[in-house]
Structure 1
Amino acid sequence: MRTSLIQFGVDQDDSVNTRRTKAASLVRAQRDADLVVLPELWTVGAFAFRDFEAAAEPAAEGPTAEAMSAAARDAGVWLHAGSVVERAADGALYNTSLVFGPDGDLVATYRKIHRFGFDRGEATLMAAGTTPVTVQAAGATLGLATCYDLRFPELFRALTDAGAALLVVPAGWPAARAGHWTLLARARAVENQCYVLACGTAGTHADVPQAGRSAVYDPWGDPVGELPDATEQVLTVDLDLDRVAAVREEFPALKDRVL
């Protein structure tokens, strides 16, 4: 499987429509990939809390879904389109990931379970998802998680138990905790013997410098590819999906679980 992680920047001087057009163009450029991944909340910025309300849109029928559906179809790729600020039918806001098939159909959504901010920011402005989500895509079972979820290993164990071989984590992770981003992504790969695709955000938005450092780690925790900084780049790597079963057979730690 060839996967491309688009380390996209959120320029607050651009309109949301400009960002959608740019993201769609970047997706269409990845025609040689099987799976393409965008970061968390790239339409608005993960720390642009004051803009969440104005940026909210329906998950399945909003303008971002429409643009990403067309881009996935044009490129002929599976697309994890990062996440959007979803406005649900009851008016609640969610941080919701969207996954599209090569035909442009929306095949999965995931509402972020762990909201960041403690008593402010996302934690107070958005409702929490409740359900782990896996989806069959590009010949593999993907487990979906978002940014702050990375700190909670129970979610990733649930995704592994549901059959995930690839754990996909779009994020708007801050540069101040960049070391944690790398450490936790590798830890989730090692403990679950899965690939981890960690797609970060480039640049700075809402005055918060981003970690970037998008990376792919194999089921042994070794890097298949890593970006060194937070500049706008695309990381493309080829994955051997058979390696998941091979590592689990070679070092069958998951069989020794007690809890």
Structure 2
Amino acid sequence: MKIALGQLESGTDIQANLAAIDRFAASAAADGATLVAFPEYATYEKKIVDASFPAVAEPLDGPVCRELAATAARHGITLVAGVVETSDEDRAYNTLVAFGPCGARLAVYRKIHLFDAQGFGESAYIKPGPSTEPVVFEAGGAVFGLMTCYDLRFPELARSLADAGAQVLLVCSSWVPGTHKTEQWLALNAARAIENSVYVAGVCQAPPVSVGRSLLVDPMGYVEADLGLEPGVRSVEVSLRTVARVKEQFPMFRQRRLG
């Protein structure tokens, strides 16, 4: 099966962001992809998370998610994107939403590890998701697991998704630039793939707000695609047979003695 990585350059113009998502979804569908993944904060993004994020937040049945659902249905493709969701307080949720090719909502994941690091304070304006349960969904015969950006540094979340049956991890991100940050981004995506015998699709915002380098890593750690620094969309094959073969070659899930 084919999945597509949509590397955006999202800004504060929500309609422009939605238009870019629609263009990339159309291109991915035309290329035969069954799923297209977009970054964290795909529909609204700035260099710094501030009070404007809760101000633009919407419920999951609001106009932004309705448009994302319509895009998925219009192009007959499963679509995953990061949105800013209202909560029950003055902070918002940093949320990933998956819509199926008929426009139905398949999964919702609210980021649990907020980026209070490197001088940033995401939790001042974003509320952590209330549940740490792994969020997986099925599309095109494969099982996908959802993670957001800083989650990548917490290997136990990736392992819980693999334990829940995920064959492909979608790591939707806006990875903050800095010293060695691109190297860490590449290494951590590869590590999560190798240690769980799964594909990892790390989908990132483009510079300057983020580092770009959206990539697909196979279960052996080989980089199947790297989108570089410019916005764009690319379709890549994933093989569930490869997942099964690597799990058999390295039967870590049967051999581990912790947990």
Q: Same fold (TM over 0.5)?
A: yes
Within 1, Cα distance between the matches of 2:107 and 2:47? 25
**Are 1:117 and 2:116 an aligned pair?**
yes
CA distance in 1: counterparts of 2:40 and 2:175, whole angstroms:
9
Aligned residues of 1:28 and 1:72 also touching (Cα < 8 A):
no
Deviates more, 1:89-98 or 1:178-187: 89-98
Confirm or deny: 8 A CA contact 1:46 1:172 kept in the other structure: no
Give how far 1:87 is off: 0.3
Deviation at residue 216 of structure 1 after TM alignment? 0.5
Matched residues in 2 for 1:47 and 1:191: separation? 32
CA distance in 2, matches of 1:198, 1:46: 20
Find the partner of 1:154 among 140, 153, 156.
156
1:135 matched to which residue of 2? 137
Task: Give yes or no for contact 1:86–1:94 (8 Å, CA) kept in 2.
Answer: yes
Cα distance change, pair 186–172 in 1 and its aligned pair in 2 (3 A): same
Report the Cα offset of residue 21 of structure 1.
2.0
Aligned to 1:16: 14
Q: Which amino acid aligns with 1:203?
A: P
Shift of 1:90: 5.1
* Distance of 1:47 and 1:109 partners within structure 2: 24
| Residue 252 of structure 2: aligned partner | 253
Distance 2:199 2:255 in 1: 20
What amino acid is the match of 2:28?
A: Q
Contact kept, 8 Å, 1:8 with 1:202, in 2: the verdict is yes
Q: By how many angstroms is 1:23 displaced?
A: 1.5
Q: Is the 8 A contact 1:201 1:230 kept in 2?
A: no
Q: Percent identity?
A: 38
Q: CA RMSD in A?
A: 1.6
Equivalent AA in structure 2 for residue 23 of structure 1 = I
Show structure 1 runs of 5+ residues with no match: none
Q: Distance in 2 between matches of 1:135 and 1:47?
A: 31
Aligned counterpart, 2:71: 71
Secondary structure in structure 1 of the residue aligned to 2:45: coil
Q: What is the CA–CA distance in structure 2 between the aligned matches of 1:49 and 1:155, rounded to whole Å?
A: 24
Matches within 5 A, 1:50-199: 50=50, 51-58=52-59, 60-81=60-81, 83-89=82-88, 92-118=91-117, 120-129=120-129, 130-131=131-132, 132-176=134-178, 177-199=181-203
Aligned equivalents of 2:88, 2:193: Cα separation in 1: 36
Contact 2:8 2:231 in 1 (8 A): yes
My pick for the range that moved more, 167-176 or 46-55, is 46-55
Q: TM-score, length-normalised on structure 2?
A: 0.91
- TM-score normalized with structure 1 length: 0.91
Task: Answer whether contact 2:7 2:232 (CA < 8 A) is retained.
Answer: yes
In structure 1, what residue type is equivalent to 2:4? S
Q: Distance in 2 between matches of 1:47 and 1:162?
A: 34
Contact 1:142 1:168 (C-alpha < 8 Å) held by counterparts: yes
Structure 1 residue ranges (4+ consecutive) displaced by more than 6 angstroms after TM superposition: none
| 8 A Cα contact 1:34 1:138, kept in partner | yes
Instruction: For residues 9-68 of structure 1, give each alpha carbon's deviation from its aligned partner in whole angstroms, at most 9, with x where no partner exists.
Output: 0245xx21222122222212221211100111022216432221222111x212221111
Contact 1:170 1:198 in 2 (8 A): yes
Partner of 1:4: 4
Question: Cα offset for 1:248?
Answer: 0.7
Q: Is the 8 A contact 1:29 1:75 kept in 2?
A: no
